[in-house]
Amino acid sequence: MIWLALSLIFLLALALMLVPLYRYQSDLTASENIPGSSSKNNVKNIAVYKAQLSELQSDLDNGVLSPAEVAAARLEIERRLLRISSEKNTIEPKNNETSLKLLTVIITLVLLGSTAFYLNIGMPGMPDFALKDQAHSTAQRIKDNSATPEMLAEVAKIQTYLVENPDDVPGNIYAWRALGQYQTDLQNRVKAAEAFQRWFELDSDNIDAALMFSESLIMLSDGRVSPAALLALDRAQKIQADNPGVRHYLALAEYQAGNVDQALVNWQALMAASPADAPWRRSVQRWIDKAQNDLGIAVTNSTAVAPPLSEDDRKAIAEMSAEEQEALIKSMVARLARKMDENPENTEGWFRLAKAYMMLGQKSDAIKSLEQAEKFAPDALKPQIKKQLEILLK
């Protein structure tokens, strides 16, 4: 049946292209054979007008017409002659039989070639994919869309509860945590950070609240450990200093601030303290490999601890007093600040400077750096920066 259908489609396509051409050719031939057709009439009229032009000269010589009358008559005859000559039917149609045959052959070859090409690469017997499995289907779009009606209903229910029960602290703690998780699933980063922030404010000694709030701020900054996230991580570190998540993100903050060697040491220490079956080991190992690659150190296995600094550098830093080490760090931050003054449109640089100020405990300078970042940041980043400023200004 499939081949019968394809054959009928082929013949129909051929007919749709060739029948109008042959019908036009037949009509054209018939019009040429009709006595008194417009084409022949035009030819006769041209001969008449030419004869009239010749007679005008005779009438002028015989004094029948004045020169002005002859000029006017000549102009009118030439106008009519020009109009007839411009008509399509004035020139008798050429015989297009040869061109029509050639066109027929070309169209037939194109259709046959298309059929042969399909037979070579096509699979006419292949069944169609189930509609529900196709990306454009309604079922698949609903499946891929995290904003299901059930989830949106839960969000609305939690929000209603929070409005109606503002003084129920235990209930609000659970509600804000659940709302943050739902908003994260819905990819509403700002709302998720706000929900986790409210949870952290109500349960500030909970390491999970501090860590999830920090992670939401990092997600809000597209993976950067922002100054606001550093503030939350500092609180999380005071709650549980050996928490693997806290240690990882603090190492990541060092890495993003340009202190790759210190970040590597921190990640290696985390790996050494982690159980062999810890689920975070693979992720941490990737960061160790990345840091080693950045420092030009050959990538080693997870148990090796390669020193990121030369022995002389390590001795020089170790021999410094706490005040000298702090002065060294401040000088590096000051150099970064001068670079930002020279290139104020470097939004990423303002983020790094704000983070460095937070690590030095200079919160007011971090806020000023974020305010500068907001001036030059693209519109997509401004809501995230505003949220971080709100957190730091509290």
- pLDDT digits over 373-389, tens only? 888 877 777 777 777 77
Give the residue from 221, 297, 215, 300 showing the smallest Cα distance to 260: 297
- pLDDT bracket for residue 130 (50, 70, 90): low
Predicted TM-score (pTM) of this structure: 0.46
Pair (282, 387) in one structural domain: no
Pair (71, 112) in one structural domain: no
Give the residue from 94, 81, 90 showing the smallest Cα distance to 41: 90
Pair (84, 99) in one structural domain: no
Domain contains 204: yes
Angle in degrees, CA 284, 294, 327, rounded to 5: 95
Both tokens of 301, joined, read 């296995």
Pair (166, 205) in one structural domain: yes
Domain contains 78: yes
Tell me the residue range of the domain where 376 lies. 331-394
Domain contains 228: yes
Is residue 300 predicted with pLDDT exceeding 50? Answer: no
Predicted local confidence at residue 199, as pLDDT: 92
Is residue 308 predicted with pLDDT exceeding 50? Answer: no
Pair (202, 235) in one structural domain: yes
Number of domains composing the chain: 5
Predicted local confidence at residue 196, as pLDDT: 92
Predicted local confidence at residue 88, as pLDDT: 45
Pair (83, 98) in one structural domain: no
The residue among 149 and 90 whose pLDDT is bigger is 149
Burial class (CB in 10 A: 0-12, 13-18, 19+), 89: middle
Domain contains 220: yes
The owner of tokens 């003054």 is 341
Is residue 143 predicted with pLDDT exceeding 60? Answer: no
Pair (76, 97) in one structural domain: no
- Give the number of residues written for the chain: 394
Compute the distance between CA of residue 282 and CA of residue 270 in angstroms, rounded to an integer. Answer: 12
Predicted local confidence at residue 280, as pLDDT: 86
Is residue 267 predicted with pLDDT exceeding 60? Answer: yes
- pLDDT bracket for residue 25 (50, 70, 90): low
For residue range 49-74, list pLDDT tens digits in order: 677 777 777 777 777 677 777 787 78
Judge whether 183 and 205 are in contact, CB under 8 Å. Answer: no
- pLDDT bracket for residue 334 (50, 70, 90): confident
Pair (119, 159) in one structural domain: no
Domain contains 140: no
Pair (273, 344) in one structural domain: no
Q: Which residue type does 234 have?
A: D
Compute the distance between CA of residue 264 and CA of residue 271 in angstroms, rounded to an integer. Answer: 11
Residues whose CB falls within 8 Å of the CB of residue 358, separated by 6 or more in sequence, listed in order: 227, 230, 231, 366
Domain contains 322: no
Domain contains 25: no
Predicted local confidence at residue 307, as pLDDT: 42
Predicted local confidence at residue 167, as pLDDT: 87
Domain contains 59: yes
Judge whether 254 and 264 are in contact, CB under 8 Å. Answer: no
Compute the distance between CA of residue 86 and CA of residue 55 in angstroms, rounded to an integer. Answer: 24
Predicted local confidence at residue 147, as pLDDT: 57
Least confident residue range of 31-40, 291-300, 316-325: 31-40
Is residue 249 predicted with pLDDT exceeding 90? Answer: yes
Pair (150, 227) in one structural domain: yes
Predicted local confidence at residue 26, as pLDDT: 62
Pair (13, 115) in one structural domain: yes
Q: What is the mean pLDDT of the chain?
A: 75
Pair (234, 156) in one structural domain: yes
Compute the distance between CA of residue 114 and CA of residue 112 in angstroms, rounded to an integer. Answer: 5
Picking from 241, 273, 294, the residue at the C-terminal end of a domain is 241
